[in-house]
Amino acid sequence: MLEFPVRTLVLLLLSSAMAVSAERDNCFESREGFGPVNTVKTENGESNIRCSEETGAVLWWQDAFEGTGPMHPMLHGARLQKTPPEESSASEQAVIKAIIPTLKLYPVCGTACHNGSYPPLSDNSPRKLVMHMDVVPDASNLQHGKGALWCLDCHHNTQRNSLLDNFGKEIHMDAAPLLCAKCHGNTFTDWSNGIHGKALGEWQSHGKKRWFGCSECHNPHDVVNGESENGFKAISPEQITTKDR
């Protein structure tokens, strides 16, 4: 008896929120706090995306390719190494949202401190850092790799805007999945085949597709805390409103 008016109130609140849901500012595409998206009006006056009024997640795209660009050549090359050459032109259809504009520290990292002019660190062992505590609260206790990893296992020693491959060479930040592939090879293979990860765009095997990079869904600095039963951070579900079928 008590439940009914509460539920009705919630529903009323929700329905009043629905009117402005399309204009919601803090929408996010994959994981909360990463890659906020803005609603853009398209030619026919409709909003490009529709977000959930409950969680803010983008549920519906009118144009899935809004704000995307071609995939980084390094990544593209790695993805296509098994593809016959005649198909590689068709695979130019792969687009992705660049990570760099979403990284707050990126412009500073490469110019202010880690521009290569400082001598490389001789000591790679984990220790507490006073910097970057907003990204990694406790660098000596990184929540990735169960104690086996530290900053410089992934980030380049002197060129801090780049990532590091197994042979000490640089990986461009926009080709980050190549870094992840160092340990998660099977997952990278599945991702390259389109089996792992989000799928936006066209269904044809040669169609234009929007790819999601690893870090658009997984937080590389906090994968352990984000882990749960299914290896994905718990999120609040969309609620359904009726039992009447």
Partner 1 sequence: MPENIPLKEIDVTEKPESPGSSASLSRRKLLEFSAKVSTVSLLGAATLLSGCDDSSAQVSWAENFQKAYRLMSADEVAAAIKRLEARYSEHFSKAVSVDSSKAEPGVLFGAALNLQKCIGCRRCVKACTLENNQSRTEGEETEWIRVLKMEQEPTQQEDAEHYYQSESVPQQNAHYMPISCMQCENPPCVKVCPVQATYREDDGIVVVDYNWCIGCRMCIQACPYWARRFNWREPGLSSEQLNPNTHYLGNRPRMKGVVEKCTFCIQRVRKGRNPACVEACPVGARKFGNLLDENSEIRKVLASKRVFRLKEELNTEPKFFYFAD
Nearest residue to 8 via CA among 242, 244, 245: 242
**Closer of 122 and 242 to partner 1 (Cβ):** 242
Nearer to partner 1, 140 or 228 (CB): 228
Which range touches partner 1 (CB under 8 A), out of 44-52, 133-141, 151-159, 172-180? Answer: 44-52
Exactly one of 35, 126, 177, 197 binds partner 1 (CB under 8 A); that residue is 197
Of residues 156 and 218, the one with the C-beta less far from partner 1: 218
At 69, list the tokens: 């660009």
Nearest approach in angstroms of CB 190 to partner 1 is 8
Residue choice 9, 11, 121, 133 for contact with partner 1 (CB under 8 A): 11
Q: How many residues does the chain have?
A: 245
Beta carbon of residue 103, minimum distance to partner 1 (angstroms, whole number): 21
Shortest Å distance, C-beta 101 to partner 1: 21
CB 236 within 8 A of CB 54: yes
Is the separation of the CB atoms in 152 and 159 below 8 Å? no
Out of 34, 56, 64, 103, the residue judged to bind partner 1 by CB under 8 A:
64
C-alpha distances (whole Å) from 84 to each of 73, 158, 231 are 17, 37, 34
Q: Does 193 bind partner 1 (CB under 8 A)?
A: yes
> Phi, psi (5° rounding) for residue 74?
-60, -45
The answer to whether 44 contacts partner 1 (rule: CB under 8 A) is yes
Q: Which residues are paired to 58 by β-bridges?
A: 51
Q: Is 16 in the site for partner 1 (CB under 8 A)?
A: no
- DSSP structure string for 116-175: S-SPPPS--S----SS-TTT-S-GGG-BTTTTT--HHHHB-SSBTTSEE-TTS-EE-GGG
Residue 59 three-state SS: strand
**Taking CB under 8 A as the rule, does residue 228 contact partner 1?**
yes
Calculate Rg over the CA atoms of the chain.
21
Longest dimension (CA), the chain: 71
Q: Is 116 in the site for partner 1 (CB under 8 A)?
A: no
Contact pattern from residue 160 through residue 189 relative to partner 1, giving x for each residue in contact according to CB under 8 A and a dash for the rest: ------------------------------
Residue with Cβ nearer partner 1 (61 or 106): 61
Residues in contact with partner 1 by the rule CB under 8 A: 8, 11-12, 15, 19, 22, 30-31, 44-46, 50, 52, 57-61, 64, 190, 193-207, 212, 217, 228-230, 232, 234-245
